Structure 1
């Protein structure tokens, strides 16, 4: 499942880093903390590896 925005891709990267032990879980905030708790490492990889070119900064509400 590819990321729908740059913000989502960035949050998934932060959560993946914590899952792998590269960063501390206590340093996660907001969406990345929720992603860490609810998603597997493979799911986070799928979102984090999405190319950023062409993605909106934030997902629109529509």
Structure 2
């Protein structure tokens, strides 16, 4: 699942750090918290690895 925005990439990176035990879940906010619960480590690894060039800062809510 590729990220649609830079903010999704950053949220996935933060959630991945929690999955790996590098950070605490209590340090996360909003979307990152739900990503930890509902996405696998592989999905979280793939999201931030997508290219950033041409991505908006935030995904549209359409």
TM (norm. structure 1) is 0.92
Q: Which residue of 1 aligns with 2:14?
A: 14
Q: Which residue of 1 aligns with 2:33?
A: 33
Hey, which bits of structure 1, 4+ residues long, moved more than 4 A? none
State the alpha-carbon separation in 1 of the partners of residues 4 and 18 from structure 2. 21
Q: Secondary structure at 1:2's aligned position in 2?
A: coil
Over the residues paired in the alignment, what is the CA RMSD in angstroms?
0.9
Structure 1 unmatched runs, 5+: none
Aligned length: 62
Q: Which residue of 1 aligns with 2:43?
A: 43
TM (norm. structure 2) is 0.92
Structure 2 unmatched runs, 5+: none
State the alpha-carbon separation in 1 of the partners of residues 50 and 17 from structure 2. 15
